[in-house]
Amino acid sequence: MPIYSKQNLKGRALTVCGPINPADLGRVICHEHLLIDFRVVLNEPPNKKDIHYMKEKVKLSNLGWIRTYWNSNEDNLLLENINDSIDEMIDFKSNGGQSLVEVTPLGPTRVTDQNKKLKHISEKTGINIIMGTGFYVDNSLPSYFNNKSVEELALIIIKDILQGNSGIHSGIIGEVGCSFPLTDNEKKSLKSAIMAQKETGAAIIIHPGRDESSPAEIVDFIKSNKGVIDRTIIGHIERTIYDYEKLESLAKTGVYLNFDQLGIESSYYPLNPKSYMPSDHQKIELIKAISDSGFNNKLLLGHDIYSKNRLKKYGGHGYSHTFQNILMRMENIGMEKRKIDEIIIKNPQKILTFE
């Protein structure tokens, strides 16, 4: 089983099937979950009369309700059928997708033998899968987390990348879960990610808290711990920052901005009901605006699929949504094709290359 060093990986991208030339990544979607147990966010619906939906299987008669209250149906939050994932990746490939970043963190959100199953999906479909490592938000940490030091947690991440598990290696750190404000455990997790980044040369992908001030807090924390800002991706931009000046201020720090909620068209956002989820049209307009301001080289795209209702099998948009629908609409509102290609090919290639 291969063991790598930071020097071995420099200039390469690391997939579940091994290192590859970054130029071979092709068109990349930068934040997804092919397999996940996301029941950590399961919550009762706001209307108690709907409580019976929580235990129903996802089906046509409840799909409309689930699309709005997606975290109030237990079955919806389980993506564990490897054959469904293979079918989705075959569709992804047929629509021009070549690589996908799968960022289900260590701990209870992973299914049994997650790494082996991701490798199997990659081998069956020919899709390059870059697997994440690291720790999610405070309420979904592995049982060993509290008893380990920052250094010990960093070593777990480092081993996941350099030594691998059953010969399968992670190729990015994240998604690293952050709330707002950061909890003590999340600071510990983020410190371990920064340490692991220094030892491996991998990029870090961040799940920010659901507050416009969260990304700035995270960037300040990374800076204060001597992390590498231009090797950091801030995800979930469109559900986090609504004020354009704040977005531009974040872009000026040098982080990558991942617009990874594409395909979600329900404005109700159950994880933060006082806020809202912008439509795809609003997301595309924001992408163009920040691109026009000179930050096109820092933009990434994704769907962050974590529930059955978003799979094509269940009437959802699937992992191909960006290629089938979004890129065309980006051109329709005036984005140049070369800029779109940079977002979907060159930017992922750069951030996924080990330094």
pLDDT in tens, 20-54: 999 999 999 999 999 999 999 999 999 999 999 99
pLDDT band at 112 (very low <50, low <70, confident <90, very high): very high
Residue 333's pLDDT is 98
Q: What is the pTM of this model?
A: 0.98
Q: Cα(219)–Cα(197) distance, rounded to whole angstroms?
A: 15
Residue 133's pLDDT is 99
Pairing of β 13-15 and β 99-102:
unpaired
Residues above pLDDT 90, as percent of the chain? 100
Residue/partner pairs of 216-222 with CB below 8 Å, 24 or more apart: 216/246, 216/249, 216/250, 217/180, 217/181, 217/182, 218/178, 218/182, 218/190, 219/250, 219/253, 219/255, 221/182, 221/187, 221/190, 222/190, 222/194
pLDDT band at 175 (very low <50, low <70, confident <90, very high): very high
pLDDT in tens, 279-305: 999 999 999 999 999 999 999 999 999
- pLDDT > 90? residue 1: no
Q: Cα(127)–Cα(118) distance, rounded to whole angstroms?
A: 10
Q: In this structure, what is the dihedral angle of CA atoms 316, 33, 8, 231, given to the nearest 10 degrees?
A: 90
Report the chain's mean pLDDT, rounded to a whole number.
98
pLDDT in tens, 205-260: 999 999 999 999 999 999 999 999 999 999 999 999 999 999 999 999 999 999 99
- The domain over range 27-351 is classified in CATH as 1.10.760.10: no
Residue 32, beta-bridge partner list: 102
CA-wise closest residue to 208 among 174, 249, 176, 254: 176
